[in-house]
Amino acid sequence: MANSITLPNELQCCPKPFVVLTGLDITYNAVHKTIWDAFSNNRRPDRLQVKFACLPGDHAFPRCKTKRSSYDWYIPKGLLKTKWMTKHLNEIPALVVVFFELDWDELAWRERHLACASRVQVVRTSLQGRTTKVAVVLIQKSTPLPPGEDMVAAERAAALCSACDLSSKSLFVLPHSDHLLGYIVRLESAFVELAQTYYHSELRRVKAHKEFLNKTTHQLLFPRHQFKIAFFSEFMQDASTALKHYRQSYTHIHELRSHATNNLEVKVVGGFVNYKICSLCFLKLNAPLDAINQFQRHVEQFKYQFGNPDLMFEHCAWLSQQYLLFADLFSNAIEQGLSAIQTQHPGFYYQQAAHYATLRRQHALSLCVSIESLNYPSPDPLAAESMDFFGQRPWRQGHQRIDPPDVAMENDGILALQKQELQLDHSWIIIPLISSAVTQFKKFHCPRLKRHLTIKMAIEYYHAEDYSKVIVLLCRATPAYRESRWCSILTQLVSIIFQCSYMLADVQNYLTSSFELLSSLSQLPSAKKKLIQENMFLILCGKLPKYVTLPSEIVSQNNKVCDNVVVPPAWEDLTASLENPRTLHVEMTSLVPFVECKARFSQPEFSIDTCICMEVFIRITCPEPIQFIELSVGLNNFDYDSACIISDTPGHGALYYKSQEIRKHVFEFPVDLQDLYKSIQVKNVTLKLGSETGRYILQLNWLKTDNEIDHEESDIINEIHSNQGTVDWESIKERKSTNVVERKSRLDVQVHHSSPALTNEAFPLTFVITSEEDLAENINILITLKPDDHDDSFLQAAHLSVDCDSLVRPSKTLEMELGCLKRKEKLKRTVYIRSSVPGAATVTVQTQYNVSNLSVQSVLVAGKQLKMISCPSKSSFNICFDVVEPFSFTAHLMSMNMESISSVYLGQSFLMLASLTTHSVWPIEVQSSQHNPPVEGVFSAMSYSQNDEVSVLASEGESLVKCLALVVPDSMEKTDTAELGLYTVRWKRYGSKNCTTETSLKLPTLTIRSFPISIDANFPAYGVLRKSIKVTYNITNKSKDFKIIEAGFESVEAFMFSGPKQTKIFLSPFDSHSIKCIFIPLALGYQALPKMQIRGIYQQHKGSTELVQKENIDNFCLHCLIPTHLYIKPMLSG
């Protein structure tokens, strides 16, 4: 049966044109050997796909059958002949090439060319009746001339073609020179063209048969001819055409009527054609989805075509083979660059192949169990020399009727197939399939399916009695089920390991699996657990264990281990060879054993003057009491290990546990001073089981790794005594590390301050230190400005100092040595912090001191015990406060008319209003403020004292305004902008005794302009209605040039005006002129004066008497230089 469903090798290969080379003596002729090597060896992928064979000239090719002229009386006996593909791949060439050594200048030309013609005739005789192409290659010593230049060669070539009955395209010349490989590659191209001509003619010949066929009697020929056309198309490297005809062939196969006698043949040939379709889609046409869809349709079409019910296992074997072939194709396509996804990759198809192989075994066992007593039929119905058609039965080849020709022979054939199936060990068929699936699932990151199939593979090895591989595979799969506490599956898997370990006499794995089967997660009955525990003690004492039958649903089929199993001889050899006790190490961390351990430190940290307390909890879940001989704990400091050991002798001692008992063991030991500021960690906990007089001592190790999470929550465990008390095991939280810290500080440090602090002030922090120690020595306080994680600008602008006046030696860190303090003594120190920017300030305060003559119960120093020690104590805390601006400052520039200005003229006077607005919650005392110009005398104050009396800004939002009258001197150079300098304020908190803070505030910039004349007027402070006001306007030329000025006045309704409305004034350099006017007010209130206008300023050119306008007049300048309004009072009566 295996041969009937196996894919033949000729179907798996890619058809290549078959070319036979004759006339080459590769054994004795070195030149011929070189030519043959150039054709056959080192064929790179870029060369044409051709299959070459070197045969003698008289080789007998398969004879051609007589061509059929009609199909009227022809009845086909099968679908696809077994020898047809092999014949065209390896036996019938598309081209025969005759190699002959002949130069154009050969002296014996006539005899040699007749010998060549004779050799060609021999080849044609052996190919009689076939359309195989024939070509001749002349091996020549010299390189031929280009075509048309050597007339002798042309004439002799024509004569040779005529003698050999060849066309000129079938005659080639091969010079044996240094460029031999290049000539060979060109010859290959020509050979492929000739070969494709042959395959094309064969293809057309097969197509011509279609018109002679009918679907009544020739139904089997339709798929056969389409298969042949597709196969010849593959020879021609035409994958698209081949795929088209393979699909047509598959359609014809599906249309065939399937019955019991031809069911296997239809499925087998259908599988062959499906394989070809999928292979072309995957490997040639890059159409993986088409291949997947085709295979799914193929399986659905043939899935339920069982055939003979007594051969159901054969149908499962065929389905398994189909999935295997498709998975191999899919995998090859991925290796060539195809991208697969996690939900569609070859692993699923390998898994299905293994599934149907398992069904094959089940059907074989169910169908063949009744024939075990029958003898194999004689004569052998399966003994056939050769098969003419794929998929047919050996005892009825060529039979296509529904009923078998011989019922007895049919029954014997089925019996022979069943007998052969019973002899197979199906596990060795299933295991490679599962292994391939596991490889794919691992490659595409599918851990659950990989684990599931690993278990299946282990079970198959169990059925095949390869117990060592069962243990290896299940040890890889069980950790996931241990972690998820999947009790049922874990119990069954460990039971298999247990039984395999017994069969192999593997003591280590036998005891390890026993631990897990005795645990609380094991679902074995109590009686089985007692037998397992009894066996465990038997092994420790050097006695033979008893066999324990464990139920397992996973291996319920074909379970080779039964109740009457004899003790394997390996156990006897093992116990006999042991003379001295042997220690076996068992890592318990990765198991779910019957003995569980948790270790914890009672506190997350211990001070240097106390003893470390460590607790170890042990829980026993085995059904019977158990006695351990030693419990020990390993720490990262080996000096402590001697204090963490409990030894016990057999009996009811400290290490004797009853079933389901939880017990706490406490270890206390003093701290080594060298471990100060270090972490003490539990590295491992060890329990020893056995006795010194036994054969084995089990050392159970729990490794406490650093990546496990320590639980820092408060204790919720009730006190557990050695003889009583219960607790929930899950509520016990492990703490595998603790820190050794210094003694808790007994210095009371109080910090007094009035926050928030103000920028630029020396903010005092007053420290009051009170001692609760008998004698605190070498007291040190370290004060540090803590940086902000997001912004370090505040840290850059802040400083610490012990001096408030000048902040001598400012720094970010300040250290104070305070000496010694006795009990209840106090020290007071003040530190100042100053920051030029606002922000949130954090100050870290660390205190450190030493205490001598400290008495503890027992302290280790380098492993030695002392009674009196000296150790340090530390404490640390943070002080947080805000730094805010004390006030805001604004400066407004105004003209003498109290109007806002942004520019002034040389010689002009103006006002500056300086305003301070407090933002502090604390009252601020402003002691003085003054203007500091950038250059001395640039902006001079107008005859008043800038120093003020002390002012107090009591509440937030209160303002202090100061008015300064300034003048721009004429000597100042004209610039676009000028700095007014700084405004300095000296202030402090109201009532504070600390030093005064001086804050310099930047004043705004001012635009300086120049004007050639200056104008002033002597107006009274007010006017009286209808009383005349005499006003004199003085106009001065400030330049070195002669000026002609046109001036005038605009009348207004509020005043009567007497004076020149328009005049022309001639001014020499630095000369002045006065214009006198009389104004009589006509209205009360703040009235606009008649507006003086300078309509033009002229300057005389050198050498010319013509006067031209030189400068435009800025009337805004006049507005700033002279008053524009005057207040008018009513006339007093009487």
Can you spell out the DSSP letters for 12-47?
HSPP--EEEEES--TTT-HHHHHHHHHHHSS--TTS
The whole-number pLDDT of residue 870 equals 61
Q: Strands 978-979 and 951-953, how do they pair?
A: unpaired
CATH number at residue 703: 2.60.40.10
Q: What is the pLDDT of residue 741?
A: 86
Same domain, 676 and 775: no
Tokens (6 digits) for 44: 């790179």
Measure the CA–CA gap between 654 and 646, rounded to whole angstroms: 8
Residue 940: its pLDDT value, please? 58
In terms of domains, do 724 and 807 share one?
Answer: no
Residue carrying structure tokens 């039958």: 549
Q: Do residues 114 and 24 both lie within one domain?
A: yes
| Structural domain harbouring 763 | 743-874
- Specify the 3-state DSSP secondary structure of 735: strand
The reported pLDDT for the residue numbered 555 is 64
Give, to the nearest 10 degrees, the angle between helix 467-484 and helix 447-463: 140
Residue 1083 within any structural domain of the chain:
yes
- Number of C-beta neighbours around residue 31 at 10 A: 15
Residue 687 is inside which H or E element, if any?
A: strand 679-690
- The C-alpha atoms of residue 747 and residue 848 are separated, in whole angstroms, by 9
Residue 397 sits in the same domain as residue 485: no
81 shares a domain with 66: yes
C-alpha 224, offset from chain centre:
54
Q: At what angle do helices 288-302 and 263-279 cross, to 10 degrees?
A: 170
Query: Is 584 inside any structural domain?
Result: no
Tokens of 789: 């994680």
C-alpha–C-alpha distance, residues 354 and 455, integer Å: 13
374 lies in some domain:
yes
- Whole-number Å distance between alpha carbons of 736 and 715: 14
Per run of 10 residues, the mean pLDDT along the chain (length 1134 residues) is: 77 93 91 92 85 89 77 82 92 94 87 91 88 92 73 87 90 86 91 94 89 81 93 94 95 88 91 96 94 95 90 94 96 93 94 95 84 84 84 85 84 89 91 95 93 94 92 93 90 92 91 92 91 91 85 57 63 66 88 92 88 93 91 92 85 83 91 86 92 84 66 42 59 90 82 86 86 82 78 74 65 82 84 85 85 53 44 78 87 80 78 86 84 70 51 77 81 71 85 81 82 81 89 84 83 88 84 89 89 74 49 56 84 69
Residue 918 maps to a domain: yes
Whether residue 663 lies inside any domain: the answer is yes
Q: Do 991 and 1019 share a domain, yes or no?
A: no
Measure the CA–CA gap between 414 and 804, rounded to whole angstroms: 113
Question: Token pair for residue 72?
Answer: 């009227």
Q: What Rg do the C-alpha atoms of the chain give, in angstroms?
A: 57
Same domain, 1040 and 995: no
What's the structural domain count of the chain? 7
Q: How many whole angstroms separate alpha carbon 320 and alpha carbon 358?
A: 9
Tell whether 682 and 752 lie within a shared domain: no
**Whether residue 782 sits in one domain with residue 862:** yes
**Residue 24: per-residue pLDDT:** 92
* Cα–Cα distance measured from residue 179 to residue 181, given in angstroms and rounded to the nearest whole number: 6
Amino acid at 681: Q
Tell which of 993, 1009, 1025 closes a domain. 1009
Nearest to 786 by CA among 880, 875, 874, 885: 880
Helices 312-335 and 288-302, packing angle to 10 deg: 180
- Residues linked to residue 766 through DSSP beta bridges, in sequence order: 752, 830
- Is residue 698 classed as helix, strand or coil in its secondary structure? strand
Alpha-carbon distances of 951 from 759, 943, 988, 995, 1065, rounded to whole Å: 19, 22, 11, 17, 53
Contacts of 114 by beta carbon, 8 Å cutoff, 6+ apart: 163
φ/ψ (deg, to 5) at 644: -120, 45
- Nearest one of 845, 849, 978 to 904, comparing CA atoms: 978
In a domain, 239, yes or no: no
- The residue from 839, 874, 909 where one domain ends is 874
Structural tokens at position 157: 């070539």
Residues 345, 346, 352, 355, CA torsion sign: negative
- Would you tell me how many other CB atoms lie within 10 Å of the CB of residue 8? 13
Whether 375 maps to a domain, the answer reads yes
Evaluate the CA torsion angle 377, 383, 387, 391 in order and state its sign.
Answer: positive
Q: Is residue 602 located within the same domain as residue 545?
A: no
656 — phi, psi (to 5°)? Answer: -100, 120
| pLDDT score recorded for residue 1046 | 84
Domain boundary among 394, 410, 435: 435
Using the 8-state DSSP alphabet, how is residue 210 labeled? Answer: G
What are the pLDDT digits (tens) for 752-794? 888 888 888 888 888 888 888 778 888 888 888 887 766 667 7
Let me know whether 566 and 613 are in one domain: no
Residue 602 is assigned to a structural domain of this protein? yes
- CA-CA distances (angstroms) from residue 480 to 450, 471, 519? 12, 16, 17
- Find tokens 């011989």 and name the residue: 406
* Alpha-carbon span 231 to 250, nearest angstrom: 13
Q: Looking at the structure, tell me whether residues 860 and 891 fall in a common domain.
A: no
Tokens of 505: 């006499």
Amino acid sitting at position 854: L
State the distance between the two ends of the chain, measured CA to CA, in whole angstroms: 151
Instruction: Give the tokens for residue 639.
Output: 């000096």
